């Protein structure tokens, strides 16, 4: 199965055929010429069921496309808080901002230019909560 065919399944939400393709040997990290991964397409669509399927099949969480975007940055930009939560809870790196600015600058940009300010604020809270949680777990004695 080609990337384009798998991408169409994701866009249609056809988890049954995608699952079968993965069982038949489809690489969960299949990408196109611009380094877009299947997980990135699922993130753009906000389809957490397909995202979960790909993650369960060991799709790489933090791969970057040629535009330096990750599945997490794409989910955040697209206003899909449930997909953002899926990626964060699966261990995706918070260092997902595609441009040379700081994390806070990137997150402010996401909030400012989002189609849905409410969803963007939800994304901000998810990131802030995860950042705090990871910071606390790194400073606690073992």
What does the pLDDT look like over 10-54, one tens digit per residue? 999 999 999 999 999 999 999 999 999 999 999 999 999 999 999
Residues 6 or more apart from 51 whose CB is under 8 A from it? 39, 42, 43, 71, 83, 86, 87
H and E: helices and strands count for the chain: 8, 0
Domain spans of the chain?
Answer: 3-139
Is residue 11 within 8 Å of 46, Cβ to Cβ? no
Q: What angle do CA 86, 53, 106 make, to 5 degrees?
A: 35
Confidence (pLDDT) at 23: 97
Confidence at 129, pLDDT banded by 50, 70, 90: confident
3.30.470.20, 3.40.50.10860, 1.25.40.20, 1.10.10.10: CATH of 3-139: 1.25.40.20
What does the pLDDT look like over 85-123, one tens digit per residue? 999 999 998 887 766 677 777 777 777 777 677 777 788
Report pTM. Answer: 0.84
Confidence (pLDDT) at 100: 63
User: What is each CA distance from 87 to 16, 47, 113, in whole angstroms?
Assistant: 21, 12, 22
Which is more confident, 59 or 126? 59
Other beta carbons less than 10 A from residue 69's beta carbon: 23
């Amino acid at each position: 199965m080609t990337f384009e065919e798998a991408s169409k399944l994701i866009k249609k939400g056809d988890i049954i055929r995608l699952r079968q393709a993965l069982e038949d040997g489809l690489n969960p990290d299949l990408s196109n010429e611009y380094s877009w991964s299947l997980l990135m397409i699922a993130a753009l669509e906000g389809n957490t069921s397909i995202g979960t399927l790909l993650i369960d099949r060991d799709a790489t969480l933090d791969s970057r496309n040629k535009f330096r975007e990750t599945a997490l940055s794409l989910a955040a930009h697209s206003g899909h808080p449930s997909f953002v939560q899926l990626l964060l809870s699966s261990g995706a790196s918070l260092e997902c901002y595609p441009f040379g600015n700081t994390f806070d600058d990137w997150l402010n940009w996401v909030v400012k230019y989002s189609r849905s300010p409410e969803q963007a604020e939800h994304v901000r809270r998810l990131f802030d909560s995860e950042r705090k949680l990871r910071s606390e777990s790194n400073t606690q004695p073992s």
